[in-house]
Every structure is written in structure tokens, then in C-alpha cells.
Structure 1
């Protein structure tokens, strides 16, 4: 592992020869970007089509003293489709690899070690070992939670970290429909201490509106896998429904839950998630203006986003774009509205999968160029540190 890391670092050093700092090298391109420069980007008022936000050019710069984020260095490289990132109490992160099933530890100084593997993971398409969440009581229970695609379903499992070795996983919640695409996979503990789990509709849109299916939902469960107290239906883990494929969750300073969601062919979404809310898929993509569904706060053309990871830092949401190959910064107003989406690093590092806020305030941004849809460099995949 360390030799792979050293070789990757050498490759990156050669790629950045002549640079005065450790700023990550952009991915070499053989074609020019097809869209306009993506910053600054104002929030647009809804037009006749009922959509808003996400335009890529023109307008005035964002106001309010927002500084431009800066990539300060590559933390680790030569990873294989890193997917989940969450932080231990000591500041190190647990990182999952979708294709290999490996569970890694990465320290703040870039030291990489292998904790173990989830051997039940069956990678295919968009599936495999996906999200990770560190128990809020980790200091006493030493427990990590994972979202994994097996040969029969998607499920949440947990395992104890014994020293530097991962113990045998046990099932927390199973029976989540699995597919070649749209498996969701992000898990995170909320401020209430319960585990939130995002699921996709696996390419079967009707499942998103089926209250008896766990597909196309955001679930809320206890650490033991039971429906969390206060759920809309006390006997169900479902917190919200009508989702196509949510892969990003974040809470702001006021405890509001935000989710980033893949659209189909027109609009990707940023949603403010409400208890029992129905977000419309497949009846609506983007803003529909129908009373029975909750409209997204912001939308983007799919070529500008295809969002996965979402995090909150410095008064903003930060959303990673896969097809969009950029990092979106979104202001959260005092009234709890999403505003002024601004894109950074457009096509500099390829597909961006996950963004996580480290204890020191830096963002850890993972690339996803080895997933079969990107243009990897010899150093990919990487974790890049960004100062917000």
C-alpha cells in the first residue's frame, strides 16, 4: 500500500514539476470544455420553465465577502474509486473504495493504512461498497457503519474497529433493493443521533413513490436498524420519498437537512428535506409546482452537476459534481434558503465524487476518474484538500 502511494506521489510530483507548491495538477485535456467558464455564477430567478439556479456564466460575482476556495494539495493518490469519507474523533478519516471493498484510514498528514475490507460487496455499475458513517459514540463503541451492495440487496452493516483492524460486519438493515444503477449509498448520522440512509430507485422509477419499498427514499433508523422515533410512519424507516438517486446529505448550522439528487435527463436537484416530504420523482423532474410534491431549492442542467457528495462548511453547502466535474459552493441564507450557486475547479480534476468537511475546516474532495466514466491520470484517484 505504501509503495503504491509512493509511486503515485512520484507520478504527481513529475506531473507538477516546476510548480512552487503542492497544488494538485489539473487533468490533461485533449478537448476544450464545451460550456462557459463556471464562475462567478449568480442565482437566477425562475423562468417560464419553472426552473432556477445553476446557469454557468455571466452575472455579477457573489457578494458578502465570499473568498474563492483554493486547492492546497493532494493528500493521497492512487486510490480506486474512493466513495465514502467520514472522520474519526482523532481527525483521521475512514475511506471506502467502491470497487475493491477496501476500508482505509487516511490521517491529516496523508498517511494511508488498510483497516480491512467488506468482502460481501459486489461491485457492478454504480454499486459496491459505498457510504461510511462513524458512530457518534465511537469513543466508547468503536463502531463504523457501511452501506454495501451484496449479491441480493443493498444493506447497512456495522463493524467494530479493534485497534487498527476492522472486525466482522453484522447486518443493521437489509432488503434495500439493489440495481446496476441508482443505488443511493450515502449514510450519515444526524444531529439527532439517528442514522440517515439514502437509497436509489435502481432504475425502476415507480419504486420511488411506493411507500412500502425502501428504494428511492431517505431512511432514518436507529443504530440498531429500527425505525427511528418520530418517523412519519412509526413502523417504517422511511423519512422522505419520491427520490431518484440521492448521494449527498448535509446538515447546516441550524440543523436543516439538505440532499443532492441526480436528475434524469434535464435537472439535477438540491433539496431541503422535510419529514414525510414527497419530492416528486418520477412524476416531476426539477420544479413541478404541484402542491403534493416539494420543489427543489435549486436545479442544474445535468451536464453541469450530476451531484454526489454534499457537505457544509463556512456558511455554505459544498456539492461535488461527477459529470459536471466541478465543486459547487451554495450559500445558505439566514432564512434557510439555498442561493448563489458558484462553481469552482471546472474540469480541473475530472469527476468529483465526495466532499467532506474535516475537523480542521478543510474540505476533502475525492475524485472518481477510475469508475469507468472518467479520464484518469497516473495519480488517480485522489483526495484533494481544499481551503473553503
Structure 2
């Protein structure tokens, strides 16, 4: 379809799609109970039954060298209240964001969880206004953390979503500095994943905030993947001069990861038909709201893979040396997609129904396992000990 025709149809298509989608795939989970979570509890040493391994810094390059199939899950930390993201620190500890509490939990190299004190009321991260799927979402660690001690956060504020950074000193988070604001926020579709790429730039995913037409509007930060310098500036080689926009036409991206060649993969929520795994190219258009799944239109990039929304609703994503892993919410499983030089194989479902809704997946600090974060205390049916961070050894 010509671009002029697409533009003319924009308002009508967006209105129709919004009218047909009253619930986010995140919400279609079969339960709405929420358990009051006690303080996070340590249940392991972070490495299963073995002593904690020597911690190593794990970044995009290290992750792509790891291969192997995951084994049986073992709890690392339990009783987390609506956790959203995990980021590994160079000393082998990790940060977990709690969406509704606006808090960070630092998980020690031995698996001991401790709440981080921030500068807001009651020690919470200041400026966070949880609402629906919004709150304290993505966490990323500066590539030069050993020199600058900076932690990056994606959060929902009263006037929209924003990206901030703050210094971390042990269990104390300093006053956040706003790097980017004005990202549309809504009850649903806030995006929220942030990650540093192998190029040293900060990537952030945004949702359409329930307004589908924003995804095609280059004047809006909604429905995009953004690329920033570490201090919040616009890189000179971004595809749209003077803009942080890297790719357009997204409904709700919540997972990012790079392979050994620097290719960027992203997971994306569909509306009522197909969820997607995409390969992101700078300046490319991924079709929302005109296309869900493959469209066969030269103006848009088709996904690498799709799933029925009942089987996926993919959030966090990890790329290793031989696979892409996607944490599925509504699908309540961990998808393993074989990967060979940018080519994907037949997806395999792991942990189906065993842990409930899955929000994030990262490489464990020792590099020998996956860490998977559950998400049952917001929606779904919490189990004793939920929510939890679990370890799956790679072998």
C-alpha cells in the first residue's frame, strides 16, 4: 500500500483497532488475584546447590558466547512484589525492579536480597506513579559502572514515561537525573525495556500507550525503539536526524537483545492474533497499526517469527550463542528459539505452566545459567513464594 494511502487511513485504522482491543495480552491471564508480598526472601546462593561462582561482568558480548540447554529451575529469591526487570552488576550481584512499589532490590552474589534505599518518600525511587502496566520498569547498568557507578531506569511519572539515571552506592541510590521525558504513558502499552548495546548506546522500548496511531507518528516517542547516548543525547548516526527514534511502527516492545554480530532482536506484543520476534534495522517500520504479524508490504518489515497471543505475550528477551529466549506472560512458558548466524529455527516451549507468567530472562552473573523472573503477583494466580527469581543451569 502506498505511503500516502497509509497516512490517509491512519485515523480510521487506529480507531478501529482500539475499539477492538479492550484488554492488553498481559491482562488475559485467567486471574486477577494479587498477594501481599512479604520482604524478599533468599532461598539459594544464586548458583543452585553449588557455592557461588566467581562473579564476572556480563554484557552483550559475553552473553553471545554462552551456549547449552537449560536445566531444571531452582529458586534464587522468593517473595518479590510485582518484579519487572533484572540487571546484572559487575560484582556478581543484580538489581531487580519492583514495578508498583517503585523500589529496587539488590540480590547479592550469594543470592541474599536487600532493598535499595532511594531519595523518594519511604526510600522509594522518586517520581514514579504506578498505574496499570506503568511504574518502575526497566533497569540497565552503565557499561562503565566500575568508573561511574550509574544505573539507568525507565519509569512512569505523572506526566508520562521517562528514562533517568542515578548513582548507586551499595544499597543507596542517589537522586535521579532525567535523560529523556515525554514518552507517552497509558494504563497499558508502556514498553519499558532499556539495555546498552554493543555500540555503547542506550536503547529504550516504548509502547503506543493505547493510541495506535502514535506508532507511525515520527513526532511522537510512542510505539518506537529509541537510541540514546549514555548522557541522553541523540547519536549523530541515528536514522532520523536530531531524533532518538531508531525504529517505528511498534505496539509494545518489551524485550531487546544482541547476537555476536551485533544484530538486534526484539519481542513485541500483538493485539489479538500474533506476537512477534523481530530483527531491528535502523529506520525500519514494523507496521503497527496497519500490520500485525507478516504483512507482505514492502513499506514494512515482517517479523522473523510469530506466535498466537495465547501462547506468548513475550516480555524480556535474551540472546545467547545458540538461541533467543523469550519470557512469556500469557503463554506462561519460556520460548527457546534456535539461532544460527541470524537464522532462526523451530521454537521450543520450556517451563510450560511450571512457574506461571514469566516477565524477564537474563544471563546469571556467573554466566553458567539463565535467571528467569516470574510475574504472578500483578495478574495471574500467585503461588506460595511468588514472585520469584529462578535459576536454570545451562549444560
Please name the residue that 2:106 is paired with.
105
Q: In the TM superposition, what is the alpha-carbon distance from 1:360 to its structure 2 partner?
A: 2.0
Question: Residues 232-289 of structure 1: CA distance to partner in whole angstroms, max 9, x if unpaired?
Answer: 0120000000000000000011111000000000000000000101000000000001
Give the Cα separation in 1 of the matches to 2:108 and 2:83. 15
Asked which structure has the greater RCO (Cα within 8 Å, sep 6+), the reply is 2
Normalising to structure 2: TM-score of the pair?
0.81
Please name the residue that 1:285 is paired with.
292
Where 1:259 maps in the other structure, the secondary structure is strand
Q: Is the 8 A contact 1:81 1:369 kept in 2?
A: yes
Please name the residue that 1:62 is paired with.
none
- Answer yes or no: is 1:245 the counterpart of 2:246: no
- Answer yes or no: is 1:154 the counterpart of 2:161: yes
From 376, 383, 386, give the equivalent of 2:389: 383
Question: Residues 43-66 of structure 1: CA distance to partner in whole angstroms, max 9, x if unpaired?
Answer: xxxxxxxxxxxxxxxxxxxxxxx9
Please name the residue that 2:380 is paired with.
374
Where 1:293 maps in the other structure, the secondary structure is coil
- Answer yes or no: is 1:206 the counterpart of 2:222: no
Please name the residue that 1:178 is paired with.
185
Give the Cα separation in 1 of the matches to 2:356 and 2:136. 21
Give the Cα separation in 1 of the matches to 2:336 and 2:366. 19
User: Number of aligned pairs?
Assistant: 331
Moved over 3 A (4+): 3-6
From 201, 205, 210, give the equivalent of 1:194: 201
From 230, 240, 258, give the equivalent of 2:237: 230
Please name the residue that 2:358 is paired with.
352
- Answer yes or no: is 1:166 the counterpart of 2:173: yes
Q: How large is the Cα RMSD of the aligned pairs? A: 1.8
Q: Is the 8 A contact 2:192 2:205 kept in 1?
A: yes
Please name the residue that 1:84 is paired with.
85
Normalising to structure 1: TM-score of the pair?
0.82
Please name the residue that 2:302 is paired with.
295
Please name the residue that 2:75 is paired with.
74
Q: Is the 8 A contact 1:269 1:298 kept in 2?
A: yes
Give the Cα separation in 1 of the matches to 2:139 and 2:313. 21
Please name the residue that 2:39 is paired with.
4
Please name the residue that 2:22 is paired with.
none
Please name the residue that 2:60 is paired with.
none
Q: Is the 8 A contact 2:91 2:109 kept in 1?
A: no
Give the Cα separation in 2 of the matches to 1:130 and 1:367. 14
Q: Is the 8 A contact 1:71 1:384 kept in 2?
A: no
Question: Residues 141-192 of structure 1: CA distance to partner in whole angstroms, max 9, x if unpaired?
Answer: 0000000001111000110012331101110100101111000000000000
Q: Is the 8 A contact 2:43 2:76 kept in 1?
A: no
Q: In the TM superposition, what is the alpha-carbon distance from 1:88 to its structure 2 partner?
A: 0.7
Please name the residue that 2:332 is paired with.
325
Q: Is the 8 A contact 1:75 1:109 kept in 2?
A: no
Please name the residue that 1:363 is paired with.
370
Q: In the TM superposition, what is the alpha-carbon distance from 1:314 to its structure 2 partner?
A: 4.0
Gaps of 5+ in 2: 1-37, 50-66, 118-123
Q: In the TM superposition, what is the alpha-carbon distance from 1:5 to its structure 2 partner?
A: 4.0
Give the Cα separation in 2 of the matches to 1:339 and 1:249. 19
- Answer yes or no: is 1:257 the counterpart of 2:264: yes
The verdict on how the C-alpha distance between 1:359 and 1:254 changes in structure 2, with shifts beyond 3 A counting, is farther
Q: In the TM superposition, what is the alpha-carbon distance from 1:223 to its structure 2 partner?
A: 1.4
Q: In the TM superposition, what is the alpha-carbon distance from 1:67 to its structure 2 partner?
A: 6.1
Q: Is the 8 A contact 1:133 1:188 kept in 2?
A: yes
Q: Is the 8 A contact 1:352 1:368 kept in 2?
A: yes
